[in-house]
Amino acid sequence: MEKKLYVGSLSYDTTEDGLKDLFAKAGTVESVNIIMDQFSGRSKGFGFVEMSSEDEAKKALEMFDGQELNGRKIIVDEARPMKPRPERRSFGSR
């Protein structure tokens, strides 16, 4: 198991500090990143938490998957590697 976890179905009110405080109950949190929409500046409703060890990540997954946070049942799963995106072309360039 990887040390990095995907956390989905987050309330828009969830903060990185709040997520870190929750996951710290399972062990040492290395980093927290809630993904934000670049246009609205609002959370996209998911993020990533990196724990300091695989054992702590497994414990966090078992403890928090399906648990309620800020009025929403969150989804916790092992993070998967990001797939490469196709290169974007801007309008007007050919």
Q: pLDDT tens across 49-66, in order?
A: 999 999 999 999 999 999
Q: How far apart are CA 54 and CA 5, in angstroms?
A: 10
Strand partners, 29: 51
- Map out the domains of the chain as residue ranges: 4-78
Residue 91 DSSP label: T
pTM: 0.87
- Per-residue pLDDT for the chain (94 aa), expressed as one digit of tens each? 679 999 999 999 999 999 999 999 999 999 999 999 999 999 999 999 999 999 999 999 999 999 999 999 999 999 998 888 788 777 765 5
Q: Does domain 4-78 have CATH number 3.40.50.880?
A: no
